[in-house]
Structure 1
Amino acid sequence: MQNFDNLINGEWRAGASYSPNLNPSNLTDVLGQYAQGSAADVEAAVAAATAAFPAWATGSIQA
């Protein structure tokens, strides 16, 4: 089974725990496990987004 980590500031980060992603038409079919972010992960993601926003906001749709 594949684990899917969080992408924060261009880096994949493992979670402290993982939550299964179930196929809704067959609840015994686990499609993968997704990382559960901690408060520190949320803070890091918000800081990365805040730092990236000025350059991103001035870019064109094509960029």
Structure 2
Amino acid sequence: MSSLVDFIKGSYTEFTTKVEWPKWPELQSSTIVVAVTSVLLALFTFGVDSAFSTAIKNFVGSLINMFN
């Protein structure tokens, strides 16, 4: 049990004294980069999904028309 307490104390000490936390402006700019990248990735995924969906609908429609 004491090893768990020592681990928690050591972790707390490391987080408060040894870790260099980002400054507020750096954190804001990183957040903006992540938000913009997420939106761009979502738009790209939407575009690819729409293109594949349209292609599959056209392909299946062509097959259906071929055998009618």
TM-score under structure 2 normalisation? 0.34
Larger radius of gyration: 2
Q: Relative contact order, CA 8 A, sep 6+: which one is greater?
A: 1
